[in-house]
Amino acid sequence: MIQLLVVDDDDINIFLLKHLLRKSTQPVDIASFVNPAEALKYISRCIDEGKRIDLLLLDINMPQMSGWDLLNELRIDGVSTIKESHIYMLSSSVHASDSEKAEQFPEVSGFISKPVTLEFLTNVFSIIVAAKQAKC
């Protein structure tokens, strides 16, 4: 089962993503948060309990804390505490400055324009499943 975490301040985007997941053939356990601070607490609990987050979909622009700020909070001495996760930044519009900022975060796998598509999820799920099988 794929462990998916979505952090997006837009309830509609989370609703659409959950709807898409029902169409997926891959079993997924999803946790979602509209508040990045609550997501940080959840991630900390996962780390403490040894629970892996396979895929993190993280909105760049949120009022309480940006996606970049959240990634900074997940670092210890500049190294991500969830480096095993596939992290994709979500945005309604990707700016060149976001691409430049991503260079500071090697843990970021890429950018996704909202809304997320079933094709994207299927492709990423295939990568995650292959990586899990390679570790066995």
The CA angle 110-43-21, to the nearest 5 degrees, is: 55
Rounded Cα gap, residues 20 and 98, in angstroms: 26
> What's the pLDDT tens digit per position in 17-43?
999 999 988 999 999 999 999 999 999
Q: Is the pTM of this model over 0.75?
A: yes
Query: How does the average pLDDT of the chain come out, rounded?
Result: 89
Residue 64 confidence (pLDDT) above 90:
no
Q: What is the Cα gyration radius of the chain?
A: 14
Residue 112 confidence (pLDDT) above 90:
no
Q: Give me the pLDDT at residue 89, please.
A: 92
* Contact call for residues 113 and 81 (beta carbons, < 8 A): no
Fold that domain 2-135 belongs to in CATH: Rossmann fold (3.40.50)
Using 50, 70 and 90 to split pLDDT, how confident is the model at 91? confident
Residue 81 confidence (pLDDT) above 80:
no
Backbone angles phi, psi at 108, to 5 degrees: -80, 125
CB-based burial, 21-30: b 16+ in 10 Å, e otherwise: beeeeeebee
Tokens of 76: 């210890």
Residue 101 confidence (pLDDT) above 70:
yes
- pLDDT, mean of residues 69-89: 83
Q: Which CA distances in Å does 8 have to 5, 22, 46, 78? A: 10, 19, 19, 24
